[in-house]
Amino acid sequence: MNTNRGLLIVLEGIDQSGKSSAAQRVCEMLEKKGIQSIKQPFPDRSTDIGKLIDEFLHGKNLPQQVVHLLYSANRWEVAQKIKETLEKGITIICDRYAFSGIVYSIANGLDERWCNSADSGLPKPDIVFFLELSLEDAEQRRKTMKTDRYENIKFQSKVKCEYEKFKDSMKWTCIDARQSKEEVALEITSIIEQQLPQLSNQPIKTLDLI
């Protein structure tokens, strides 16, 4: 039953590091190679919970704990669908996942252990790519992009600092996000392609963060 499942791939990084473009391009590149794949953004703004998160990002006031749980619930509401999709042999490229939930909430002052528990038990990613970009380069890109309440250099520097801790303690694959969009996507796609035969025969694991 678990032979040749799809892979759960996660892209993480500070705002403006190019995750959304990479998710789109990687899916297209994989499809061209005959590897069925779909992208899954988090937050997923297509659901009621996602719409509430979007309102928060654009000014609605909510307690920080509620926000953390909403982001987590937004993943849990598609967790079963993720598993079923992987079992069908389709690879999923997630634009952010539980790690975003944790680093952004810690940067907002929440307790690390409390933050970790909400996402424990979700499907575990097979590969996490960390798109590395300096705060200065992100700031430069931000000038031409739509932004949310978190997109200022002071907050992003806290987020980056929390990401660095994760990156060191877990086996993340770092990608130089200063490269062109094409180069970033090509690098990610080739690593996925290379790892697919070995990982697709393994059962889906569970995220254990506590």
> Which residues of the chain form contacts with Mg ion (CB under 5 A)?
15
CB burial readout 126-157, b (16+ within 10 A) else e = bbbbbbbbeeeebeeebeeeeeeeebeeebbe
Q: Which does 100 bind (CB under 5 to 8 A by kind): ligand NYM, Mg ion, none?
A: ligand NYM
Q: Which does 150 bind (CB under 5 to 8 A by kind): Mg ion, ligand NYM, none?
A: ligand NYM
**Phi and psi angles of residue 41, each rounded to the nearest 5 degrees, phi first:** -80, 145
Q: Distance between CA 102 and CA 187 in Å, rounded?
A: 26
Q: Which is nearer to ligand NYM, 164 or 193 (CB)?
A: 164
Q: Which is nearer to ligand NYM, 35 or 188 (CB)?
A: 188
- Parallel, antiparallel, or unpaired for β 173-176 and 127-132? parallel
Q: Which is nearer to Mg ion, 99 or 126 (CB)?
A: 99
Q: Which does 43 bind (CB under 5 to 8 A by kind): ligand NYM, Mg ion, none?
A: ligand NYM
The closest residue (CB) to Mg ion is 15
Q: Which is nearer to Mg ion, 95 or 119 (CB)?
A: 95
CB of 96 to Mg ion, least distance (A): 9
List own/partner pairs for 104-108 with CB under 8 A and 24 or more apart: 104/71, 104/150, 104/159, 105/64, 105/67, 105/68, 105/71, 106/162, 107/155, 107/158, 107/159, 107/161, 107/162, 108/64, 108/67
CB of 33 to ligand NYM, least distance (A): 26
Tokens 């705002």, residue located: 15
Binding site for ligand NYM (CB under 6 A): 15, 42-43, 57, 71, 96, 100-101, 104, 148, 150
CB of 75 to ligand NYM, least distance (A): 7
Q: Which is nearer to Mg ion, 15 or 126 (CB)?
A: 15
Q: Distance between CA 192 and CA 184 in Å, rounded?
A: 13
CB of 110 to Mg ion, least distance (A): 20
